[in-house]
Chains A and B, each alone.
Chain A
Amino acid sequence: MTTATKTGIDTVSQATATPDEAQPHRELGLTDDEYEQIKKILGRRPTNSELAMYSVMWSEHCSYKSSKVHLKQFGEKQSDAGRKAMLVGIGENAGVVDIGDGWAVTFKVESHNHPSYIEPYQGAATGIGGIVRDILSMGARPLAVMDPLRFGPADGNDTKRVLPGIVAGIGGYGNCLGLPNIGGEIVFDASYAGNPLVNALCIGAMRHEDVHLASAKGVGNRVILYGARTGGDGIGGVSVLASETFSEGGPTKRPAVQVGDPFMEKLLIECTLEVLHAGLVEGIQDLGGAGISCATSELASNGDGGMHVVLDHVPLRDSSLSPEEILMSESQERMCAIVAPQNVAEFLAICKKWDVEAADLGEVTTSGRLTVEWRGEQIVNVPPRSVAHDGPVLERPLARPEWQDALIADSSSNLKRPQSAEELRETLLAMVASPNLADKSLVTDQYDRYVQGNTVLAQPEDAGVVRIDENTNLGVALATDCNARFVQLDPYIGAQLALAEAYRNVAATGATPLAVTDCLNFGSPEDPSVMWQFSEAVRGLADGCLELEVPVTGGNVSFYNQTGTTPILPTPVVGVLGVLDDVTKRTSMAWKDAGDLIYLVGSTRDELDGSEWAQVIHGHLGGVPPKLDLTAERELAKFLVGAGRNGKLVAAHDVSQGGVAQTLVEMALRANVGAHITLPNDVEPFVLLFSESAARAVTVIHPQDKDVFESACVRHGLEFADIGTVDSGNELTFAGQFAVSIDELRAAHVGTFPALFG
């Protein structure tokens, strides 16, 4: 900071007295316009503390300034059914959905991409920590986590650097917290080199009456900060890291990744749930990006509008921190609660029981201002809404990229396809061994999937399923998906295909899809091409959610994912939540008994553009994504849920990356049992095996259920084909084409990750 009073602190009176003093607003990421706007709001120049607060809260990451105008579609385009399911919508820490029987579920996915590039272990770990606190602050007990991850080429040096650390960080933090990791994704693409995506999803459950909101109401109520001490870690992390692209040669501002302490977070979870259930909390907010600045301004803005905070009371890890640093610090494992004065003693006693430090920072006031005091001087006096909610809104220019037409014209139809049975066999083996399709257990076995004892399904199943109520067997399913290659070809359709895939995955386990969370990972919003991709993807997602009647309940936008001027593939990761009223009836992907019939449900077209086959065999991306048919997706989902509930499905598995071939291989390997497959005559074998047409699933039934099953397909208007039987052998046989043993498939499928990362 460049200014200083005699005491070294820039106070409100000092700011009033020295209106023309130069301030480093640009270094803090604020534009000249934004700086002028702050001066206008305050009627004077901001103090250094106020400048710090605005700079962080108005950063892209906190304010959604570039995305806001697009995201509002999620609220506007909502079906009545979607609206009805939602107890708390977008804007809170996480959306809350009614799942029946008085239970509510909250879930959200968030990005921690940039910190994880700089410091893979801590970046990924604190990504988990942050999303867990979001769920906790709604009043829910966190139940499970998932991690959609994207990396550069699997054999790239940068991937070798970041992947092991990111995986260890997710495991190190999540395992120590006692949250099962039930699914996620690991996808490699050259565009993520130098900019891996680390998204973290958490789901929690609570009774309806336990839902809590982040608002500071009730004049005289106390503002209690509890959890870890505030240190110098993560200062400016939000504005500097998440809102700027790393550029070579520029000034280095990289000391800003936070350090996580999962043990403290576990104590914080138990302590928070105990004070919430004891009825001691009027409002609650976690401290994440922008730390105390964010928590106090959001609480005040959502509540009665006024709050007074004495910053000297913040417990510090480092006594030399300046007030600006204390306000901006992103030290982890902290929460802020609004507590009525008569409940403070009991609140503090529960904190003590859990060895959690707590401090009374101040109170809710009627002033309409957020005021902060430091060493007896006022250093902040702002309208909280101007910090938390009325940040800048930008209508960024957008333009369809010039290269889009050429990309679409470059179809995969000219690529050489396997001609003989032997070539088909080789292709299949190459595909199942390719990094995106290979077995991921080297990674997922580093995550605890058992803790809490309610995990019904976990990776590599289509969706994670957890039991919520042990008495009724009510439970939920969750899947995240995004084929960014399709989004690159057509962001409007691609985003909907991501939604459709997650929706289908949830339904494959027998769950009725209910709600959506999204993590929108894109390049720089200052690039009109990226902004066009973003706007198209959001429009697509909003339209798709409206049509499927699954509301978007919350999520996160991550911009500036690019290396140099090359953005990542547009990656709107979509998470779909579904409900199972009886988790004992869930459908797994493993077939079992010899003689059971294998069906392909849904229509297969010659759709290889953007496919894994085009990527793995030819390194090609071009053309148009597969046809989107949301009516078919909805009917397929209804069919899968109905058949699952009736006990007619032995197994079901969605068809997506790698096509039917990959689906069959995964089912056989999961069961460790072979099958005899007879490909239908009306489709070319290669197309049947490797096309990535959407709205399809492979299902397995007992022979005696054939008629019921087929008539159900007809009733839902779904094409179906009997493609073979499970047998007792140890081969996957494609009649008239080729056979491959389970052992050979397993060796190919399982060998890749240990060879790369073992």
Chain B
Amino acid sequence: MTTKIGVVTFPGTLDDADAARAVELAGGQAVSLWHADANLHEVDAVILPGGFSYGDYLRCGAISRFAPVMTEVISAANAGMPVLGICNGFQILCESGLLPGALTRNESLHFICRDQVLRVENTDTSWTSQFDEGAEIVIPLKNGEGRFVADVETLKRLEDENRVVFRYREVNPNGSKNDIAGICNDVGNVVGLMPHPEHAIEELTGPSEDGLDLISSVLHTLAGGRVSA
């Protein structure tokens, strides 16, 4: 049976169709999930895609975390379901408490759209098992509030527990602490990153096809069993 990956649409979500395209290209089945529907419709994994949910008014992700669907996402994530948050999705995961830290305004105070080199630091997560450790990949980055910050203890814990999943290479585009582009929770089923793997899935439209490997990874994880902590 095809693996079902849910893609959540909040009001103001923008990259939902792109995330669904990535899922389908990688061989999964994309299932649309609606913010107001507290039901995951039997999906095997969930992607919170990028965008400006609720206009990013108040604070990025601060309103979306209260959406009915998030109650289900949070409890499924805590039960081990793979969850990927991209950009605004990462911000929502931080607001939800599924991931530590926060995303603040880019150091330049400008929105930045660029092809970004990342190093894959951790291949023991649900979403990175198909990468080689230390692999350098090119993924588009596009955000205004992507500077990852956390207190000293949290940063130390993230580093000590190998929970930094992606790190910016060559350029730290937004002033993120420790060049952090993406992190995971303590068991590796929940991953958040600012760059957009769903925009690096076709030679025609992206700078690489490296983004597909995140989806291939979760399909592999789901087919082969859970990622061990």
Contact with B12, one of A176, A454, A584 (Cβ below 8 angstroms): A176
Q: Which residues of A contact B11 (CB under 8 A)?
A: 263, 266-267, 354-355
Contact with B along A448-483 (1 / 0, CB 8 A): 111111111000000000010010000000000000
A453 touches B54 (CB 8 A): no
B206 touches A450 (CB 8 A): yes
Chain A residues numbered 562-607 whose CB sits less than 8 Å from any CB in chain B: 583-584
**A–B Cβ pairs within 8 angstroms, 17 of them:** A175-B111, A175-B142, A176-B56, A178-B15, A178-B51, A263-B54, A263-B57, A266-B11, A266-B14, A267-B11, A355-B11, A451-B142, A453-B17, A453-B198, A453-B199, A467-B205, A584-B204
The answer, yes or no, to whether B114 is at the interface (CB within 8 Å) is: yes
The answer, yes or no, to whether A446 is at the interface (CB within 8 Å) is: yes
B140 touches A450 (CB 8 A): yes
A454 touches B142 (CB 8 A): no
Query: How far is the CB of A170 from the nearest CB of chain B, in Å?
Result: 10
A261 touches B55 (CB 8 A): yes
A453 touches B205 (CB 8 A): yes
Query: How many A residues, CB 8 Å from partner?
Result: 32
Q: Which residues of A contact B144 (CB under 8 A)?
A: 175
A263 touches B55 (CB 8 A): yes
Chain A interface residues toward B at CB < 8 A: 168, 171-172, 175-178, 261-264, 266-267, 354-355, 444-456, 467, 470, 583-584
CA distance A355 to B57 in the complex (A): 16
Interchain Cβ contacts within 8 Å, total number: 81
CA distance A403 to B135 in the complex (A): 65
Q: Which residues of B contact A177 (CB under 8 A)?
A: 14
Contact with A176, one of B55, B113, B206 (Cβ below 8 angstroms): B55
B110 touches A446 (CB 8 A): yes
Given contacts A451-B14, A452-B17, contact A262 B51 (CB under 8 A): no
A467 touches B204 (CB 8 A): yes
CA distance A456 to B17 in the complex (A): 17
Chain B residues numbered 148-198 whose CB sits less than 8 Å from any CB in chain A: 196, 198
A172 touches B55 (CB 8 A): no
Q: Which residues of A contact B113 (CB under 8 A)?
A: 444-450
B112 touches A451 (CB 8 A): no
Of B140, B144, B205, most A-chain CB atoms within 10 Å: B205
CA distance A229 to B142 in the complex (A): 31
The answer, yes or no, to whether B21 is at the interface (CB within 8 Å) is: yes
B114 touches A451 (CB 8 A): no
- Closest residue of chain B to A758 (Cβ to Cβ) is B108
CA distance A454 to B205 in the complex (A): 6
The answer, yes or no, to whether B52 is at the interface (CB within 8 Å) is: yes
Given contacts A267-B11, A267-B12, contact A450 B51 (CB under 8 A): no
Of A266, A354, A450, A452, most B-chain CB atoms within 10 Å: A450
The answer, yes or no, to whether B18 is at the interface (CB within 8 Å) is: yes
B204 touches A450 (CB 8 A): no
Q: Nearest 8 A-B pairs (CB), nearest first?
A: A263-B55, A178-B14, A453-B18, A450-B199, A176-B52, A448-B142, A446-B111, A450-B140
Query: How far is the CB of B137 from the nearest CB of chain A, in Å?
Result: 15
Contact with B112, one of A178, A263, A446, A470 (Cβ below 8 angstroms): A446
Query: How far is the CB of A366 from the nearest CB of chain B, in Å?
Result: 40
Q: Which residues of A contact B198 (CB under 8 A)?
A: 453
A452 touches B18 (CB 8 A): yes
Of B56, B111, B140, B201, most A-chain CB atoms within 10 Å: B111
B114 touches A445 (CB 8 A): yes
CA distance A454 to B14 in the complex (A): 13
Of A178, A262, A266, A355, most B-chain CB atoms within 10 Å: A178
Q: Which residues of B contact A455 (CB under 8 A)?
A: 205
- Closest residue of chain B to A356 (Cβ to Cβ) is B11
Q: Which residues of A contact B56 (CB under 8 A)?
A: 176, 263
B205 touches A456 (CB 8 A): yes
B15 touches A451 (CB 8 A): yes
B204 touches A451 (CB 8 A): no
Contact with A along B13-51 (1 / 0, CB 8 A): 011011001000000000000000000000000000001
CA distance A178 to B10 in the complex (A): 13
CA distance A449 to B142 in the complex (A): 9
Given contacts A178-B14, A355-B11, A451-B18, contact A262 B204 (CB under 8 A): no
CA distance A452 to B51 in the complex (A): 11
Beyond the given A446-B111, A448-B111, A451-B199, could you list 15 further A-B residue pairs with CB under 8 A, ordered by the A residue number? A176-B52, A176-B56, A177-B14, A263-B57, A266-B12, A266-B52, A354-B11, A446-B112, A450-B140, A450-B199, A450-B206, A452-B17, A452-B18, A453-B17, A456-B204
- Closest residue of chain A to B201 (Cβ to Cβ) is A453
CA distance A534 to B7 in the complex (A): 51
B55 touches A445 (CB 8 A): no
Q: Which residues of B contact A176 (CB under 8 A)?
A: 12, 14, 52, 55-56
